């Protein structure tokens, strides 16, 4: 049997990793400035993380949600404190797409409505409703197509206000990334986030803050939406939550009431996933990684803005987009092949930087030096 080949794959076999460094089968060292799609939040193979998962596995790795799993409550309490949402409730699942799927379903159950407002260049996942709210026709299968999702221009306050004036009483939810990742590291403006909050309050819709990529401390606050100074009704998360172990969740405001059968999952919140997530929060707190993300991110952004051939630098903290001229679309590949540095892209000439939150200035400088070499080559 062959693999179902749906991913473009670099011909590199990574066999070992620690912190922000990777090694291939031939012993070559690489720098990881991408974290496997913003997943590696506390660095590869962090000792506390490895020990926590190992200890949990030596006791029990899995049982279903038909029994008490105390580590789920520990995770919920710890997450509430560090995120500043102690009065919210937690529902655990397995991925970002599942988180967004459940968030939109919960909003629909709560409001009794079915219309969703999403935005241009949004990416919310590949499951049924999440992909319907994703602005990429190439990945929306015919079975996922629906008239219930309306796409509006990103950061267009007038278009959003007019949409609510026209059909606000039909809207179950507005879903928005605090910073669009796949969409090119485009930040939702503070006034736009505040307007979403005000309109959702006025019309009784739910505000869903997609924090799958831009959350979990990556931007220097726990959720990127926090910069607007308002509370969403539901926050979705995954990626950095488990540092590589599959886990996702939604954080739910108090006005949403639970009932038997409302949401469900087989693997969500299993013992190993929760052990991984608790370990991540332990390290984030003890090593002050949210503060580090802001500090190193500010440094990188400031330095990158001084590069002559960089057209624009976007983002916050350690979620950074570097916009290059189209003729420099090869730079991302060159960084990997010639400098052995993993980065990401939103389109060929936009490099995405999404490293572990514990990178230091030395690693940041190694990247800046390599990028300078590539831009001058």
User: Residue 228 above 90 pLDDT?
Assistant: yes
In whole angstroms, give the CA distance from residue 328 to residue 310. Answer: 10
Looking up tokens 């916009």 gives 323
How does residue 348 score in pLDDT terms, banded at 50, 70 and 90? confident
User: Residue 185 above 90 pLDDT?
Assistant: yes
In whole angstroms, give the CA distance from residue 267 to residue 65. Answer: 8
In whole angstroms, give the CA distance from residue 368 to residue 320. Answer: 13
* Per-residue pLDDT, 347: 82
Each residue's pLDDT tens digit, 161-180? 999 999 999 999 999 999 99
Domain boundaries, the chain: 63-286
**Statement: 63-286 belongs to CATH 3.65.10.10:** no
Strand partners, 92: 249
Among 290, 277, 228, CA closest to 251:
277
Segment (H or E) for 365: helix 361-376
State the number of CA atoms in the 13 A half-sphere of 138 facing the CB.
Answer: 3
* Per-residue pLDDT, 8: 85
State the number of CA atoms in the 13 A half-sphere of 16 facing the CB.
Answer: 7
* Chain CA centroid to CA 280, Å: 15
How confident is the model over 205-224, as a mean pLDDT? 98
How confident is the model over 51-78, as a mean pLDDT? 97
Per cent of the chain over pLDDT 70 is: 100
User: Residue 7 above 90 pLDDT?
Assistant: no
How confident is the model over 181-200, as a mean pLDDT? 97
User: Residue 21 above 90 pLDDT?
Assistant: yes
How confident is the model over 197-220, as a mean pLDDT? 98
How does residue 158 score in pLDDT terms, banded at 50, 70 and 90? very high
User: Residue 201 above 90 pLDDT?
Assistant: yes
299's tokens? 């440094």
* Per-residue pLDDT, 245: 98
Each residue's pLDDT tens digit, 26-39? 999 999 999 999 99
How confident is the model over 229-242, as a mean pLDDT? 98
In whole angstroms, give the CA distance from residue 351 to residue 353. Answer: 7
Per cent of the chain over pLDDT 90 is: 97
How does residue 377 score in pLDDT terms, banded at 50, 70 and 90? confident
How confident is the model over 201-228, as a mean pLDDT? 98
How confident is the model over 287-300, as a mean pLDDT? 98
Q: Angle formed by the axes of helices 157-167 and 190-203, to 10°? A: 10
* Per-residue pLDDT, 12: 96
User: Residue 258 above 90 pLDDT?
Assistant: yes
């Amino acid at each position: 049997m062959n693999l179902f080949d749906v991913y473009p794959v670099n011909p590199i076999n990574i066999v070992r990793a620690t912190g922000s460094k990777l090694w291939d089968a031939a012993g070559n060292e690489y720098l990881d400035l991408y974290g496997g799609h913003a997943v590696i939040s506390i660095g590869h193979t962090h000792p506390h993380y490895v020990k926590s998962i190992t200890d949990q596995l030596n006791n029990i790795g899995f049982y279903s949600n038909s029994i008490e799993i105390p580590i789920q409550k520990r995770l919920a309490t710890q997450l509430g404190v560090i995120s500043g949402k102690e009065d919210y409730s937690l529902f655990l699942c397995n991925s970002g797409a599942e988180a967004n799927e459940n968030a939109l379903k919960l909003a629909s159950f709560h409001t009794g409505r079915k219309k969703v407002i999403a935005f241009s260049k949004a990416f919310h996942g590949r499951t049924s409703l999440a992909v319907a709210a994703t602005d990429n026709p190439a990945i929306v299968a015919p079975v996922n197509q629906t008239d219930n999702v309306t796409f509006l221009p990103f950061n267009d306050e007038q278009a959003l206000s007019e949409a609510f004036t026209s059909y606000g009483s039909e809207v179950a939810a507005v879903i928005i990334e605090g910073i669009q990742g796949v969409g090119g590291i485009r930040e939702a403006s503070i006034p736009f986030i505040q307007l979403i909050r005000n309109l959702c309050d006025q019309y009784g819709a739910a505000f869903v803050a997609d924090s799958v990529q831009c959350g979990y401390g990556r931007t220097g606050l726990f959720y990127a939406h926090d910069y607007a100074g308002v509370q969403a009704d539901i926050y979705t998360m995954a990626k950095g939550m488990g540092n590589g172990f599959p886990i996702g969740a939604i954080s739910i405001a108090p006005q949403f009431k639970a009932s038997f059968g409302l949401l469900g999952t087989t693997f969500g919140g299993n013992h190993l996933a929760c052990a991984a997530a608790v370990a991540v929060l332990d390290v984030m707190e003890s090593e002050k990684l949210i503060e580090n993300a802001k500090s190193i991110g500010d440094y990188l952004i400031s330095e990158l803005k001084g590069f002559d051939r960089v057209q624009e630098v976007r983002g916050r903290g350690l979620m950074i987009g570097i916009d290059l001229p189209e003729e420099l679309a090869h730079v991302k590949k060159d960084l990997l092949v010639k400098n052995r540095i993993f980065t990401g892209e939103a389109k060929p000439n936009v490099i995405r930087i999404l490293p572990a939150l514990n990178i230091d200035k030395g690693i940041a400088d190694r990247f800046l030096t390599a990028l300078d070499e590539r831009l001058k080559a």
